Amino acid sequence: MDDALTDARSIKLKGRSFLAVVLSPDLPFDDWLRKLDDLAARSAGFFLERPVVLDVSDLSIDKKQLKGLLADLAARNVRIMGIEGARPSQIEAGMPPAMKGGRPAADVEVPNREASETETAAMAEPASPSAAAPIIQVADSRPSAPSVVIREPVRSGQSVIFPEGDITILGSVASGAEVIAGGSVHVYGALRGRVMAGSLGNGSARIFCRRLEAELLSIDGIYTTADELSADLQGQPVHLWLDGDEIKAQRLT
């Protein structure tokens, strides 16, 4: 008996950081859910296989309303990994766990900090058309680099994530690809995929591209699509910035 008690096997626990999308709904929920449906219609699969945190810090709701919101999100295939800002009395068994202490910046796990930008992009290329599309997780070799340069096109299904600063793409961003930057985004080719600038709360971030054909554009959490912008901007070099709660765009000459 003593031998059995002292022969317990150790359990290996690992820490890991992920970049999560935070949803901060507004009341009334029906109106907010309609906006969410519109976003999903313009960017199919945006929430699929993506960690999502529900922030209800600024909402005066009860447990029944919270459960109803979770059910509405589940019906839209938005799977919540945790709830931030909820009171203990609002959380019950079967609901996502309460979360707190989230940081505005996420740790980015890089295969090799000493690798060059070209090598990093090359490692992210799918081995075959049927291979799972990777995330291009980028960091510059300098400790506090404000920007990073990707020298190859970003292909469909790939993601470039650099929460520390600006991203410059020397090629194009294909349809189905996404670029997420804590700062501004510069695309020196056609922008056909999704771009999220100022992703950690930077309202001064901007988006520049040589040819605008984007599926989705976002600055500091404000979303739009190229179709919603002026028709004379389609296929043109464009500069986009945030003015209050509206994304403005201007053709570059």
CATH classification at residue 179? 2.160.20.70
What type of residue is 238? V
Which has more pLDDT, 155 or 128? 155
User: Which tens digit of pLDDT belongs to each residue from 74-90?
Assistant: 888 888 888 988 888 88
How far apart are the C-alpha atoms of 224 and 180, rounded to whole Å?
15
Q: 2 in a domain, yes or no? A: no
Q: 1 in a domain, yes or no? A: no
Is the same domain home to 92 and 36? Answer: yes
Rounded mean pLDDT of 93-122? 52
Which has more pLDDT, 234 or 45? 234
CATH classification at residue 82? 3.30.70.260
Rounded mean pLDDT of 174-187? 92
Host domain of residue 85: 21-99
Coil, strand or helix at 133? coil
Q: What is the DSSP string of 28-74?
A: SHHHHHHHHHHHHHHSTTTTTT--EEEE-TT----HHHHHHHHHHHH
Rounded mean pLDDT of 19-45? 80
Query: Does 13 have pLDDT greater than 70?
Result: no
Q: 192 in a domain, yes or no? A: yes
Is the same domain home to 141 and 232? Answer: yes
The pLDDT score that the predictor gives to residue 226 is 74
- The partner residues of 154 in beta bridges, in order of sequence, read 173
Query: Does 241 have pLDDT greater than 70?
Result: yes
Q: 59 in a domain, yes or no? A: yes
Instruction: Output the pTM of the full model.
Output: 0.53
Tell me how many domains the chain contains.
2
The pLDDT score that the predictor gives to residue 44 is 57
Q: Retrieve residue 207's tokens.
A: 């988006």
Is the same domain home to 195 and 73? Answer: no
- The pLDDT mean for the chain works out to 77
